Amino acid sequence: MTQEFTQPNKPGYFGEFGGSFVPEQLQSVLKRLEDAFYTYKDDPSFIEEYQYYLREYVGRENPLTYAERLTKKLGGARIYLKREDLNHTGAHKINNTVGQILLAKKMGAHRVIAETGAGQHGVATATACAMMNMECTIYMGAEDVRRQELNVFRMELLGAKVVSVATGGGRLKAAVDEALNDLVKNYESTFYLLGSAVGPHPYPTIVHHFQSVISEESKRQVMEREGRLPDAVVACVGGGSNAIGAFSAYVNDESVRLIGVEPVEAATLTKGKPAVLHGFQSLCLQDEEGNPLPTDSIAAGLDYPGVGPEHSYLKQTGRAEYVTITKQQVLDAFQELSKTEGIIPALESAHAVAHTVKLAPALGENDIIVVNLSGRGDKDVAEVKKMLE
């Protein structure tokens, strides 16, 4: 593999995917963001500040836990869990939120808006806004508001205003639409803090940058523990931010299989076709007329018909593999990890665990799998309880 895999061939493009297809008012906003990002990302004082917050506020570095009992039970590859669930606010989202809020501050914004699905990005954004004393509005699909009522209350506790969006099925896609409308109206004072590796350029590149800490750490940790690279890295894919963060440091290591896991009900990378959605070109689930199809995953964070453009490129080039998992397999994995390791995973992360349960026995005892545990499952236990009854 060559370095080309992480280097878009033109700014904002990953092969034919990515780009920026937005109304004219937004183009200058995105250009300003792009300039700020490229200015600060290599600025030593910015890096120092970002690392300070990762360490002192997020709680990094988090462990790479050897899942000894699960490994023994499955009888195959040694399984390691990258513990993003142990971050402050309980998921990987805060890595990106802290990075973007520092950018927002540098750019002089005093109001932050964001979309959220599971509520995790909303909570992470509201948290960062509270810490930085910024005004915060979160857009959330009405159905997600219902499914994740505790996260709604958390965001309000943190001082954010939560706007419930009932249109378009009331899911993540509708929330993104509304957040973009807000940005078009208020772009002069407002920073749109995007939660996944999606959206028009420069967002996928920014989110990749701030999430890459996951694989930079896991690579160092697995080398320390095992003295070699893993054979596979497994992560769930919604918009693709935890997966891109879990993959990025390994992209040029040809021997490492990169495996993204999607719900069968939102299998964008398996069943999607190229389209422009929310301002960027990527694979997308769509009907005959090219309209985005509604998705129906039990994991709100994976319930999105699009995917980050870099994943479409990794798929097209064959560098990463993408597989699907059923609801039942997710529920089984959710319980399995809880019982065998004492770790309740987020339903999203349980997709990665579910694929690992299939993959580990197919590999040898000398093989190593790193599973990205993108978040903890406390937010999901009430919903899972209902589903199991």
**Toward ligand PLP, which CB reaches closer, 170 or 199?**
199
Name residue 59's amino acid. G
Q: What is the per-residue binding string for ligand PLP in 291-310, x denoting contact by CB under 6 A?
A: ----------xx--------
How many angstroms separate the CA atoms of 357 and 323, rounded?
Answer: 13
Q: Which of 84, 115, 310, 341 is catalytic?
A: 115
Smallest gap from Cβ 226 to ligand PLP, in A, equals 25
Cα 50 to Cα 45, 70, 110, 304, distances in angstroms: 9, 35, 19, 29
337 makes contact with ligand PLP (CB under 6 A): no
Look at residue 236 and give its three-state secondary structure.
Answer: strand
209 makes contact with ligand PLP (CB under 6 A): no
> Residue 172 is encoded by which pair of tokens?
């993540």
**Residues 6 or more apart from 114 whose CB is under 8 A from it?**
121, 122, 125, 136, 137, 138, 139, 179, 192, 193, 194, 195
CB 336 within 8 A of CB 49: no
Answer yes or no: 374 catalytic.
yes
Answer yes or no: 61 catalytic.
no
**Toward ligand PLP, which CB reaches closer, 134 or 269?**
269
268 makes contact with ligand PLP (CB under 6 A): no
**Toward ligand PLP, which CB reaches closer, 120 or 137?**
120
| End-to-end Cα, the chain, rounded Å | 48
**Residues 6 or more apart from 220 whose CB is under 8 A from it?**
none
**Toward ligand PLP, which CB reaches closer, 213 or 237?**
237
Look at residue 84 and give its three-state secondary structure.
Answer: helix
Task: Using the rule CB under 6 A, give the single segment among 70-78, 138-146, 154-162, 346-354 that binds ligand PLP.
Answer: 346-354
| Among residues 71, 137, 212, 349, the one that binds ligand PLP under rule CB under 6 A | 349
Name residue 147's amino acid. R
Task: Using the rule CB under 6 A, give the single segment among 174-182, 342-350, 361-369, 380-388 that binds ligand PLP.
Answer: 342-350
Token pair 């994995």 in the structure block, residue: 333
Q: Which of 93, 219, 315, 379 is catalytic?
A: 93
Smallest gap from Cβ 269 to ligand PLP, in A, equals 11
215 makes contact with ligand PLP (CB under 6 A): no
**Residues 6 or more apart from 21 whose CB is under 8 A from it?**
200, 276, 279, 280, 281
Report the interface residues with ligand PLP, using CB under 6 A: 91, 93, 118, 120-121, 196-197, 236-243, 301-302, 346, 348-349, 374-375
Catalytic residue numbers read: 93, 115, 374
